[in-house]
Amino acid sequence: MTSSSKKHFINDVLTLSVVPLISQLVGLLLLPVITRIYSPSDFGLFNTFSAIVAFLGVFSTLAYHSSILLPKKDESASSILISCLFSSVLFSLFVLILIVFFYNKIILFFKIEDLEAYIFLIPIFIFLHGFFQTMRYWNSRIKNFKKIAQSKISEVISNKSFSIGYGLVVLNNVGGLIYSLLIASIIKNLFLLFSIKNLKYIFFNIQIEKIFTVLSKYKKFPIFSLPSELLSRVPALLIVFFVLNFFDSGLLGNYSLTMSVLAVPTVFFTSSIIEAFSPRVAQAIHSKTHLKVLEEVYERIFSTTFLIFVVLIFFGDKLFSFVFGSSWIIAGVLAQILAIRSLFEVVTTPILSLTAIVQKQELNLIRRIAEISVTVVSFYFGSYFDNYLYSFILYSVLGSLSILIITKILMKQINLKFLTLFKRVKYYSKIISIIIISFIIFKFLKVESIFLNIIFLIITSSIYYYLVLKHDKELLNIIKSKLNLK
């Protein structure tokens, strides 16, 4: 990257991460209120509903939304956009027809009697998912990152606010969580829809022949990416199945909260960086400078997220019990276990995000099959011994190993050296190593006071991020300019 493109890149990342940072913090502050309104069982049922919607939602665009970034001409990209929208409508109607004709059989077969009042919302969620994916990639293509950031702000605030209001005023049951998600999904889609000024022009200039030509050109996406995305949703469904059949919905609710918290670093940093990274690397492929772009992205993801997961690994149980209430201590223990896997997922995200851009979608397919195998083996093992901790420990360890293996294969194919990446993060690795030693000593002292634990974490985290910004002058200057600081 040139210094000018670097500056624009970091600005885009900050637009996507720092701008919605306040809303995400508000969401985190409200989450402890929500966990005191809704029970782990409510969260477990909500997780079941979300897993079903996420699985079916994969079919909405046939994975063509990912290819919107690739065409050089907007005319070709707009053809993909139209195709994705029509596909979302058609598949949603298809699911609605299935529900109408097989309503009772679906309820009995999937054993979702507690969710029967919300089944007809599934087609709406499917359409909203496909619409959002399409609009998000289009806005990313035209580098309209402010609107993407605004949509994320609206989603978090509306979701958390409505779930609290519904739980306090109406009923504190799973309906509050589902309806909150629905309202948030509608609002975030409206933000992205109104951002496209030439949408009418795109619709009135549809060329059927052009659409089929473009779709044929990018046929690898439905052939490889669609099965890959579909398989990526299977582990969530399998976990729901195993936990509900061999343990209980309360454990599933604790797991749901754990994953929500572990996703925060992804929302704050990773997804925002990848959002700004994807269109640039797609262009950099043509000039063969994509590896330099990748190294830049990898360094920033590593420096901003690594410590967060280390904190959760060491202090997850105490933090969850204090922040979300004593009934959620199991979620804290799960966070300590699963933070290891999430750490590997996050730091390898920039590399694995290249699979679609360099059209190596088959690796994604292999990765998803490995994930399913890991899930089945791990949860069968835990259910056999009637110990959920065995399941999650094995799931975390085997999952981390599979991620590393797939990453190594892709690195070899794109000629990216591990040593090159290590040199980029050597400075941060030294600091984190020192912090880990301090964490071990602190745990050895067995300090029970939650107040002292939090003070210790605030001090160590502040020192780390101070050193990060001191080292990354460019990032520091742009943050200052965003905050209007001299």
Q: Which segment of 26-35, 47-56, 140-149, 458-467 scores lowest on mean pLDDT?
A: 140-149
- Say if residue 167's pLDDT is above 50: yes
Tokens at residue 479, please? Answer: 């943050």
Give the whole-angstrom CA distance, residue 287 versus residue 72: 13
More confident residue, 38 or 275: 38
Give the whole-angstrom CA distance, residue 174 versus residue 118: 10
Give the whole-angstrom CA distance, residue 129 versus residue 118: 17
More confident residue, 436 or 363: 436
C-alpha dist (Å) from residue 212 to 5, 61, 114, 274? 35, 15, 43, 29
Q: Assess contact for 432 and 306: CB atoms under 8 A.
A: yes
- Start-to-end C-alpha separation, the chain: 26
- The percent of residues in the chain predicted with pLDDT above 70, rounded, is 82
- Say if residue 101's pLDDT is above 60: yes
Q: What is the pLDDT of residue 486?
A: 47
Q: Assess contact for 341 and 400: CB atoms under 8 A.
A: yes
Q: How many CB atoms lie within 10 A of CB 404?
A: 12
Q: Which segment of 154-158, 168-172, 227-231, 237-241 scores lowest on mean pLDDT?
A: 168-172
More confident residue, 367 or 477: 367
Tokens at residue 468, please? Answer: 């990060």
Owner of token pair 């079916």: 56
pLDDT band per the 50, 70, 90 thresholds, residue 389: very high
Burial 256-281 (b: 16+ CB within 10 A, else e): bbbbbbbebbbbbbbbbbbbbbbbbb
Q: Where are the beta strands (DSSP E) in 318-427?
A: none
- Say if residue 213's pLDDT is above 70: yes
Q: Which segment of 82-96, 121-135, 273-287, 445-459 scores lowest on mean pLDDT?
A: 273-287
pLDDT band per the 50, 70, 90 thresholds, residue 249: confident
- The percent of residues in the chain predicted with pLDDT above 90, rounded, is 39
pLDDT digits (tens, 9 = 90+) for 1-13: 555 555 555 555 5
> Mean pLDDT over all residues of the chain?
83
